[in-house]
Amino acid sequence: MDEKDLKYGLFADAPDLVDTIPALGKLKKACPAYISRAEKAQCIARKFAREEMLPRVLAIDTRCSKDPQYVDWDLWRKANDLKLNIAAVPVKMGGLGWSALDNAVLVEELSSVCLANAANITFNTFGLLGALVECKTDIVLNIIRMMVDAQKKGEPLFWSWAITEPSAGTDMEDGEAMAQMKASTSARKVPGGYRLNGTKCFITNGSLAHYVIATIPMDPSHPKESMATFFVPTTTKGFSVGRIERKCGQKASQTAEIFFDDVFVPEENLWEPPGRGLRHTREILSITRGYIGLCGVAMARGALDHCIRFANQKKRNGHMLLDEDWVKFAIADMMKDIMAVRAACYNFAIALDTSHIWSLFEKLPIKASLKILPGKMILGDALLNLSRLKPVRLLGSKYKGSIVSDRMVEKFVTEGSALKVAGTDLAVRVGSRVLDIVGLEGMAYDLGMEKYFRDAKVTQIYEGSNQANRIDLFHNTIGTLR
Amino acid sequence: MQVKELNDIINECRRFAKNEIRDQALEADLNPSPETVNTIWSKSAKLDIPSLLLPEIYGGAGYPALCGALVLDAFSSECAGIASVFAHHFAACMPLIDSLSDSCETYSTRIARMEGHGASPAAVIFSEEEGDGELVLMEKENTLMLTGITQPVGNTCRGGFWCIFANDPIQKNGVTCIFPDPDKIKNAFGKETRLPGLKINPFRQLHFQDFPINAAEIIGERGKSADLLKTTRAAFFGFVSAMAMGCTRSAYQKAFAYAEQRYQFGNTIIHHQEIQRMLGAMLMKLQMGTAGYTRLFSEERLHLPCSVPDPKLVKSCCTDMALEIILDAVQIHGGYGYMHEYGLEKIMRDVKVLQLLGGSNPYHHVRAIAEQL
């Protein structure tokens, strides 16, 4: 950077969370600790994004173009050292205790530099989120313990969420569609557990995963009624990884085909019984879709921040490109969209803290336990053994169910779908439009702007295509009135 | 030229593209190699494509620029990167078509016979008006010198002729067309601009600092090539439009075929109304874009206000619509559209580069009005 650099957005010296989302200022007065922690999260995340990620994302992208299996483990370790991959785990258990809002800040800052590398770090939350759906106490404690242990040892622990099948993408995420889907996987009951067969495709981190959370029907002729969720260690006999896809963008995030060849899953690893698989998926979507919307906003923001910096240094027609009227209008137009969708995404994150799964950590029994019990005991064997008792398991499940109802899940799916479409459409639009401003010269690979365009497109496709998200949005609102 | 003759050329070129380009396209994108272009270029010479637009008296085929555009449309339906090599070459040939000077004869004959530098694709450079990208021809110590840094240009490293339009202060709004010695040009090469699309065609900026130009290297009269520039640029915009339509023609056909076989929501997706709407909108843009660029090359003009196509606006419209088409084509393919082997994401990257080729579209909109003031 030289003296002509504008200190704006990603390149600003000071964190700007409250400045750029004024509603948080009001909230800060009511809940100072809540917002202060988010501001601190922004400091940490932006520093990491700018100092650790930014200098190397293009090199990683280039390397992954040649070798889709490449992972920059050094970058991952730096994130691990900061506990960014277990940020949502309570402090007492060894994590950062970051709220949904703090995690939104983390996701935004990292994605504004590179969503693929951000995914390698933050998608670790999948394991925890998956366990929290049914919230069986032993499963939750065990998952957290594994995450924390791996973090302490500096060892990677990846989770994949295996939903998409070669002949069923959107069909796996919508009830009406699932009822008519053509399944590529199936499970059957055997003594002591289940046997899984079939193929899943486009699985994020499928090639790196230590554990896979797979949604598979017991009866492919009645997929919706028999859809179940299984927890599968990838070391299990019969599990294998196929092709790692060669993608247009987001190359640092591996997308793989995975195979189940008579994979045995013991009874206790059935996370959702037949008929509840879709509900499990919907609850995960109720959280992740909003975050993907924010990822889209973040990419738009990152692309625009780069574009502004370039336009401020590039001479056109006797003045700087940034002084061209049409450029000013275009930038302002993109800024207003980013500001609007970003504010809505943060509103969503705060709602997750208030009403969704994160609110669990604020409930008296959980809060008191975390406060009273010594840290070692919380994740110790004694408590884990206690949590395995059937009444305790069921209590955890029931208690969580009283907080996150089916109705609330669908409400968050609705909100999340709106944000997912708004944010990811914006990412593609801004990713393309900034290139119109900077021209062929600014499109050069080394300047990093074309990467945003390549990375953005898939966000309109995964986590339910934007068409599927629109269907959800309509059905869950207008559809319910007819 | 008769429609039948044009259709014969289209069919011949589509056959050539299918047989010679299709199987190379994805590999050329992943591992661009000059050999790929050289092989296709040599084979295309058997169909007289490199000399397609050059005058018959110099050994060319003597076809009109529309014909060149249709060839590019056909080639782009298999690989816009390969087509772009031909597009730059065709544009570089434009100044040789109308002028009957000795130098034009020399360059045309060499291209037609595939001799020396004429055996490789030619390249073209348009100077910007002012600021970055401006090239200026000035006299220093009795020698003509070219100075300036170009925008990234295609067909670098090919070894063919160079057609350069430079601003020339010898007169107001003066422009000079130069065909410098290709061997000297290499000294001006900057590093390759790694663009996301058209990867088989390496783009780079050229840095000219007091680059000597001989009087013999000038085409036509010094400072008086503004009209030649206008014609050449107009043709280039038409060629870019044709490429944009060609590659999205292919994307539309792929999306239609995929929608016919992809099952989702209880039916093949082509039966879903929203997919029909998307495909219909794609078809509309494809038809209008094709009509727009073919009309650009037509000499018939209606006396209707705003009915004469401005080449830069045709390019702007065609490439903008092409991007919309390909984004929807990828979307219809879902995850498969984003994967390399399906070829859709390559078209998306190619189209984004086409959108910026010859200047960005919003700026063309500004210029279209500013020029009228």
A174–B195 C-beta distance less than 8 A:
no
Q: What are the residues whose beta carbons fall under 8 Å from the beta carbon of B371, sequence distance 6 or more?
A: none
B221 with B233, same domain?
Answer: no
For A97, left (φ over 0), alpha (ψ -120 to 50), or beta?
Answer: left
B218 with B286, same domain?
Answer: no
Strand partners of residue B175: B167, B224
A136 CA to chain B: closest CA distance, Å? 33
Using CB atoms and an 8 Å cut-off, which of residues 448-477 of chain A contact chain B?
Answer: 450, 453-454, 457-458, 460-462, 465-467
B103 with B188, same domain?
Answer: no
B264 with B211, same domain?
Answer: no
Continuous segment of H or E residues that includes residue A152:
helix A137-153
Q: Which CATH superfamily is domain A159-275 in?
A: Butyryl-CoA Dehydrogenase, subunit A, domain 2 (2.40.110.10)
Between A360 and B250, name the one with better pLDDT: B250
CATH code of the domain in which B340 resides: 1.20.140.10
A171–B340 C-beta distance less than 8 A:
no
Residue A1 confidence (pLDDT) above 50: no
Is some CB atom of chain A closer than 8 A to the CB atom of B358?
no
Q: Where are the alpha helices (DSSP H) in chain B?
A: 3-16, 22-30, 34-45, 65-76, 80-98, 102-113, 182-185, 226-261, 273-296, 311-333, 344-356, 361-370
User: Token match 């925008």: residue?
Assistant: B151
B252 with B305, same domain?
Answer: yes
Q: pLDDT tens digits, residue range A214-233?
A: 999 999 999 999 999 999 99
pLDDT at A185: 97
**Contacting residues of B for A326, CB less than 8 Å apart:** 362-363, 365-366
Helix (H, G, I), strand (E, B) or coil at A226: helix
Q: Which residues of A290-326 are buried (b: 16+ CB within 10 A; e: fewer)?
A: bbbbbbbbbbbbbbbbbbbbbbeebebeeebbbebee
Question: SS3 for A51-75, per residue?
Answer: HHHCCCHHHHHHHHHHCCCCCCHHH
Q: Write out the two tokens for A258.
A: 């995975």
Of B97, B119, B141, the one marking the end of a domain is B119
Question: What distance in Å separates the CA atoms of residue B339 and residue B26, rounded to the nearest whole number?
Answer: 11
B334 with B239, same domain?
Answer: yes
ipTM > 0.85 for the complex: yes
pLDDT at A447: 97
Of B196, B226, B256, the one marking the end of a domain is B226
Of B187, B204, B226, the one marking the end of a domain is B226
Between B187 and A35, name the one with better pLDDT: A35
Is some CB atom of chain B closer than 8 A to the CB atom of A232?
no
Q: Write out the two tokens for A313.
A: 């240094």
pLDDT digit of tens for each residue in chain B (373 aa)?
Answer: 688 988 999 999 999 999 999 999 999 999 999 999 999 999 999 999 999 999 999 999 999 999 999 999 999 999 999 999 999 999 999 999 876 677 788 899 999 999 999 999 999 999 887 667 789 999 988 899 999 999 999 998 777 999 999 999 988 889 999 999 999 998 899 999 999 999 999 999 999 999 999 998 999 889 999 999 999 999 999 999 999 999 999 999 999 999 999 999 999 999 999 999 999 999 999 999 999 999 999 888 888 999 999 999 999 999 999 999 999 999 999 999 999 999 999 999 999 999 999 999 999 999 999 999 9
pLDDT at A4: 65
pLDDT at A136: 86
Q: What range does the domain containing B192 cover?
A: 123-226
Q: What is the mean pLDDT of chain A?
A: 94
Q: Cβ atoms within 10 A of the Cβ of A471, count? A: 21
Angle among Cα A279, A285, A286 to the nearest 5 degrees reads 90
B235 with B366, same domain?
Answer: yes
Query: Could you give the percent of chain A with pLDDT greater than 70?
Result: 99
B18 with B127, same domain?
Answer: no
CATH code of the domain in which B106 resides: 1.10.540.10
B196–A453 C-beta distance less than 8 A:
yes
**Beta-strand (E) ranges in A81-163?**
159-162
pLDDT at A461: 96
B233 with B360, same domain?
Answer: yes
Question: Of B331, B362, B363, which is closest to A460 when you measure between CB atoms?
Answer: B331
B152 with B97, same domain?
Answer: no
pLDDT at A317: 80
pLDDT at B130: 66
Residue among B322, B284, B297, B251 nearest B71 (CA) = B297
Question: What distance in Å separates the CA atoms of residue B114 and residue B125, rounded to the nearest whole number?
Answer: 22
Give the count of Cβ contacts less than 8 A between chain A and B. 133
B334–A436 C-beta distance less than 8 A:
no
pLDDT at A356: 93
B248 with B350, same domain?
Answer: yes
B115 with B239, same domain?
Answer: no
CATH code of the domain in which B157 resides: 2.40.110.10
Is some CB atom of chain A closer than 8 A to the CB atom of B360?
yes
State the pTM of this model.
0.96
B206 CA to chain A: closest CA distance, Å? 12
Between A431 and A372, name the one with better pLDDT: A431
Q: Report domain extents, chain A.
A: 9-149+280-360+404-481, 159-275
CATH of domain A9-149+280-360+404-481: 1.20.140.10
First to last CA, chain A: 57
pLDDT at A361: 86
